[in-house]
Structure 1
Amino acid sequence: MPARFANGSGAPMDKIIYLFEALSVANLGLAFVGVLAGIVIGALPGLSATMAVAVLVPFTFTMNPASGLIVLGAIYTGAIYGGSYSAILVNAPGTPSAIATTFDGFPMAKRGDGALAVSLATLASVIGGLVGALLLMFLAPPLATVALAFGPPEYFWLAVFGLTLISALSVGNLLKGLIGACFGLLLSMIGVAVIGADVRFTFGSQTLIGGIDIVAGLIGLYCIPVLIDLVATKDPHLKVASDSSGFRLAESFGILMRQKFNALRSAVIGTVVGILPGAGGSVASLVSYSEARRSAKNPENYGKGEPGGIIATEAANNATVGGGFIPTLVLGIPGTPPDAVILGALLVQGIKIGPQLFTSQGSIVYTFIFGLLIGTLLMLPIGLVVGRYAYKSIISIPKAALVPTIAFLTVIGSFAIHNNLHDSAVMLGLGVIGWFLNRAGFTPSPIVLGLVLGQIAEQGFVQAYLIGNAQQNVLGQFFGRPISLAIAAFAILTLFYPLIAKAIGARRARKSDVDQTVESRKADV
């Protein structure tokens, strides 16, 4: 064996060898099966990518390390993308990273453009996955240093930034959006504290000691209100468009080409956010959605079935797959929960994690990265075929059969998280509360985001406060670090963005009125 291949130097000739190894029949078959299984699992609410990867990890121990990583990466990629199906078709995100996909995906499906929405989600997911994997290949060591610069204060401000983005998503209903986020923050504080182990807001209930599980809360707040509305109304759950049986690929490509900058920008945002441990696809998709809306020519269309919203969210959350592997492989710090499971599999296989991994065991790493790229490309034909039949099936199933099926999946999905009926009870309780809140004009997304980001914010704040108190410089911890100040500035800008945009719009309207008055007077003269 040549010396370069043995030490995995990552030279161009070596990378060609690793590419052909990833293209072997066995690895292609594993990537295909992994993507298909991930899509199916991700489309079912409650059966997350983490669960899929964790269940299948033991089966990879009999494979060689590269093949085992390829199948795990394919499942992970497919599951993140699969969450878009239920988000678009039944307004119930299959995974937390698909929360923002519901904003425009379900409105598109309701007006008969579900097939177009699924095709757009597929194309955007492939672009995001490719960008994330390519950046993983070429920029892993330098990008991993970004993660090292993030301490507790940065994570606190990052969570605050994520919460303030709700204001940009709640134009016209800002107060209710912020109230919903605060309610989500209160839900995140139930149970044992992240630091200090204080028991809070359990009211003597053993069920609430473990807190509100994020997946159970997501299923309850999104799925149960939809089910209640389906039962309460006679109207069809989705419109049947005359061309709903097709892929609508030509139209999807045309929209994507017009939104190419949005897709690439969102993929880069997703990769960068994926590098930050604990942030994940839900934060990445929200940041990308907010940025897409801010820079759009017609931001008022977002939330009403705007294709750019789907492109932004799906490109971002799939890019976090490659981004999350950067700190996992280079620093041994998992970027997302599925990365933590895969990291465990690497350690069991005897692979030493660290910057030297790309040289000492380059054959494994680069074969895996090429396998991740291949799995992402396979997601295009598999996703289009599965999405086509998923849409046709959803619109053709009568509500009398659809509602019990989804209800069964929600109960099973929430139970399967910890094999605990308490999670199912919490899910149902939050679902009923969510339905009443929906009737009062409170959407579930700010509540879920508050629940997701609350623990990140609390942990970052308490840790930063303790460190600052020990150094007798608490304010310096929060306001004396360049990255913290930058994130805080973005948070302030985002919080007041609706007011700024409204003021700018009013000023332009006044200027237009003045110009029209001047022109009319000139015409009279």
Structure 2
Amino acid sequence: MDILNFMVEVFNFTNILWLIIGATVGVILGAIPGLSADTGIAIFLPITFNLEPITGLITLGAIYVTASYGGNITAVLVNTPGTSDSLFMVFDGYPMTLRGEGLRAIGITTWSAFIGGIIGSLALLFTAPPLARIAVKFGPWELFLTTMMGIVIIIGLSKDGMLKGLLSASFGFLCSLIGVDGITGSTRFSFGIDAIYDGLPLLPVVLGMFAVSQVFELVTEKRDTIVIDKNAMRGSVFLSLKDHASMLINNLRSAIIGTIVGIIPAAGTTVAAGISYNIAKRTDPHPETFGKGNEQGLACVSAANNAVVGGSLVPLLTLGIPGNGTSALFLGGLIIHGLCPGTELFTRDASIVYGLFAGLIAAQFFILLFGLFGAPLYSRVTRIPKSILVPIIASFCVLGAYSGRFLCFDMYLILFFGVIGYYMVKANFPLAPFVLAFVLGRNSEIQFRRAIMLMQYNFTGIFFRPLSLVLLSIVIIMLVSPLWGDIKSLAKKCSVFCFDNSRTRKDS
């Protein structure tokens, strides 16, 4: 009952006002390529210093929640992920827009993000301490296996064109190796270029591969707007009960996956979205439609991404361990208000922490507000003539790349990867394996090398750790399942061949 009172008392005029400000800023920053929740929280940290602790944390929480959603809008409508969290949105969201179903795509990503966010926030509210105790047991080997779950998804995404998919992934791994070695501290593959001394920055690479390559694509295509028919924006953001029912299981499963992955430090939205997407593809009756505008594919990624927000705050609030970069900034917000993460936070400062939970849940409703009622306005972007839209997108992409490190080199880098991405698309090389390998490659390498050093190159220890065995089993299942149909077909052909040979020898 005390928890409910804490949560109700939060909603006074001042807190609601700052909640609205935080949610609005989050959506805008999330939708602008190159900006993200990190940017918003970093800007608002000094502003919230003079606010009451609960007011300041609610503001930062609203920015975190809505910025994770804001990138979905540009990813769906113009194939430009506003944040790195929205990478998987372009696979099925943008093809729906090209079919004239942009409004419906926004409706799907909005409702799914809302469901995922609510489940992640409720998990944070009710299960934070016990789940955090499990997260503590994740050592380098377990973190490596968790990252491998995201990497083996490459096989599922590349099954129809395995060779090209693996080549794309290999290029991504090579790019992830550039920079300072995470173990020895030595520089590798930087070729004497100071700007990539510590590695290739994520935003210029991702924006180049997806956004700038799409700009080149729009320039070369013979059409005036993104949607071929200006009057073809069919559907509605308000989905029917039948639509909600068909996506419910997918959304719930993806939200649970996102929450669990968010709790694991350093896993992040890429792993959560990848695992959810792979499972949804395998369980769908028409897996061949994924990547071509499948609604279930868009829904599962949206739900998983927003569920990660609540999950990432579990180890932060209970143990002081940030689940990702954004929650690390959020830790700064706790510290400047004199709050110490841990068990005492839930006892000594219970009114503040449960008020924060109430603010996170309330922020999820702003996703519905901005998504459902702003969709008709957003959809007009697809009707803007290319002569106007292309320079705007290109400018935002270049400025977004520059804003990350304020280096002119990054503006050249985004153009370089834009050209590579354009020709990869023209040659039917999938971009998804490249991005997955690039995002997860360095972390998986570091965790693997840490694990083998701690085990002194003796791998027998992993068989005596139940958590390792469970994760290893999941990785093996995910590795084999995309090829299971081919394996069964090959086994059947071998058995038929052996049976025919035995009959021939017997007859002779």
TM range (shorter): over 0.9
Give yes or no for the alignment of 1:27 onto 2:15: yes
Contact 1:165/1:491 (<8 A) preserved = no
Amino acid at match of 2:152: T
- Render the CA deviation track for 1:29-50: whole Å, top value 9, x for unaligned: 2222211211111111111211
- 1:442-461 to structure 2, matched below 5 A, reads 442-461=429-448
Give yes or no for the alignment of 1:492 onto 2:480: no
**1:244 corresponds to which residue?**
233
Cα shift at 1:152: 0.5
- Render the CA deviation track for 1:422-461: whole Å, top value 9, x for unaligned: 2222222112112222222212211111111012101101
**1:139 corresponds to which residue?**
127
Distance (whole Å) between structure 2 residues aligned to residue 258 and residue 271 of structure 1: 21
Instruction: Give secondary structure in 2 for the equivalent of 1:149.
Output: coil
Using the TM superposition, name which of 412-421 and 486-495 deviates more: 486-495
- 1:461-480 to structure 2, matched below 5 A, reads 461-469=448-456, 474-476=458-460, 480=464
Cα shift at 1:502: 4.1
Instruction: Give secondary structure in 2 for the equivalent of 1:417.
Output: helix
- 1:274-353 to structure 2, matched below 5 A, reads 274-353=262-341
Cα shift at 1:124: 0.4
Contact 1:49/1:79 (<8 A) preserved = yes
Amino acid at match of 1:249: F
Instruction: Give secondary structure in 2 for the equivalent of 1:496.
Output: helix
Amino acid at match of 2:480: F
- 1:268-279 to structure 2, matched below 5 A, reads 268-279=256-267
Q: 1:436–1:375: structure 2 CA closer, same or farther, 3 Å change rule?
A: same
Q: Which stretches in structure 1 are left out of the alignment for 5+ residues?
A: 1-11, 509-525
Query: What's the Cα RMSD here?
Result: 1.9
Q: Structure 1 vs Structure 2: percent identity of aligned residues?
A: 38
Instruction: Give secondary structure in 2 for the equivalent of 1:102.
Output: helix
Distance (whole Å) between structure 1 residues aligned to residue 164 and residue 143 of structure 2: 25
Distance (whole Å) between structure 1 residues aligned to residue 26 and residue 128 of structure 2: 25
Using the TM superposition, name which of 183-192 and 153-162 deviates more: 153-162
Q: 1:51–1:478: structure 2 CA closer, same or farther, 3 Å change rule?
A: farther
- 1:72-221 to structure 2, matched below 5 A, reads 72-221=60-209
**1:17 corresponds to which residue?**
5
Contact 1:415/1:423 (<8 A) preserved = yes
Amino acid at match of 1:465: I
| TM-score normalised according to structure 1 size | 0.90
- Render the CA deviation track for 1:173-193: whole Å, top value 9, x for unaligned: 122222211211111110111
Contact 1:270/1:319 (<8 A) preserved = yes
Contact 2:213/2:421 (<8 A) preserved = yes
Cα shift at 1:99: 1.1
Contact 1:141/1:330 (<8 A) preserved = yes
Q: 1:281–1:94: structure 2 CA closer, same or farther, 3 Å change rule?
A: same
Amino acid at match of 2:317: L
Q: 1:497–1:197: structure 2 CA closer, same or farther, 3 Å change rule?
A: same
Contact 1:247/1:384 (<8 A) preserved = no
Q: 1:419 aligns with which of 393, 396, 406?
A: 406
Cα shift at 1:198: 1.2
Contact 2:101/2:234 (<8 A) preserved = no
**2:45 corresponds to which residue?**
57
Cα shift at 1:130: 0.4
Distance (whole Å) between structure 1 residues aligned to residue 270 and residue 20 of structure 2: 26
Give yes or no for the alignment of 1:409 onto 2:396: yes
Distance (whole Å) between structure 2 residues aligned to residue 297 and residue 22 of structure 1: 46
Distance (whole Å) between structure 1 residues aligned to residue 251 and residue 18 of structure 2: 28
